Amino acid sequence: MKKKVIKFFYLLIGFCFFQSCVSRKTQFGTKTEIRDSKDSAQSLAKISLIKSLEYSEFKEGQFSNENESLKYRILRPEKLDLNKKYPLIVVFHGSGAIGSDNRSQMGVLSKMWLLPENRKKFPAFVIAPQFPGRSSNYHLDTTRGVQVSESNEYLDLLLKSVDSLASAENIDRSRIYVMGFSMGGSTTTNAVSKRPDLFAAAINISGISQFNNNENLLKTPIWMVHGSLDADNYPQSNLKFYEEMKDKGQVLFWEFKDKYHNNIISAKLVDALPKWLFNQKK
């Protein structure tokens, strides 16, 4: 009997520690350092599976105005109930997918929503635009000593088009989310800076932050993810943004201590992203 009590005691301690870690990782104003240098075979297999998914369910489309056009693909809920409203997830790609083939932007962050478990648990509209040029440009902020980002007319077209899409489809305007990797992570912050009224939450993965409009970023939950070893987009920009915003905004930061730029998206992250997004609502 005594052994059973001791075993239960240790199990309880372990459970409480796990709950504490989970809470600390998802609480605003926190920065969590994660060491995950060796992805398990299971994790690598899941990412490989996502990359291999056929994406014909993402239907082709194009946004246009008198000056620019922007191709995109859109995924609708698997079992669309016309009497319900669904979240919209906007996914921004990195600079390697710039073009006009309307295919290259279909990376892990877009195709992860095709996983059967996500289709069932997280029904949503997902839009993956493809920018024909850079959606975010960088320059040095000499005062802060870090790179900062700024958007261009392609993002303006996209934001206006999202407004139109939300009116035309069964989209819940209180649950419009935006996420992106690398240049797309930067564009994510740019988008919220331009339209803080539009988005219920944002995820910036390995991007560069924007600082000249921080007041617009105070009320939107922002999750930042970066690898300490990232030599493409150095993490100092996002770290600086977090330090400036942690006490007044709704920002959390996951810093993967052993990750580079191109191996930051793991199965652990893919599993966490939908749960966090769907917990946010305007």
φ, ψ dihedrals at 188, nearest 5°: -60, -50
Q: Is residue 157 part of a domain?
A: yes
Name the more confident of 46 and 36.
46
Q: Is residue 116 part of a domain?
A: yes
Residues 6+ apart with CB under 8 A from 112: 50, 118, 270, 273, 274
Q: Is residue 24 part of a domain?
A: no
Q: Is residue 251 part of a domain?
A: yes
Instruction: Give how many domains the chain has, as a whole number.
Output: 1
Q: How confident is the model at residue 6 (pLDDT cuts 50, 70, 90)?
A: very low
Q: Is residue 98 part of a domain?
A: yes
How many angstroms separate the CA atoms of 205 and 181, rounded?
5
* CATH number of the domain within which 149 lies: 3.40.50.1820
Q: How confident is the model at residue 152 (pLDDT cuts 50, 70, 90)?
A: confident
How many angstroms separate the CA atoms of 267 and 46, rounded?
6
User: pLDDT tens digits, residue range 70-97?
Assistant: 999 999 999 999 999 999 999 999 999 9
> What average pLDDT score do residues 176-205 get?
97
Q: What is the pLDDT of residue 160?
A: 94
Q: Is residue 13 part of a domain?
A: no
CA-only gyration radius of the chain, Å = 19
pLDDT at 10 over 80: no
How many angstroms separate the CA atoms of 247 and 241, rounded?
11
Domain that holds residue 204: 29-278
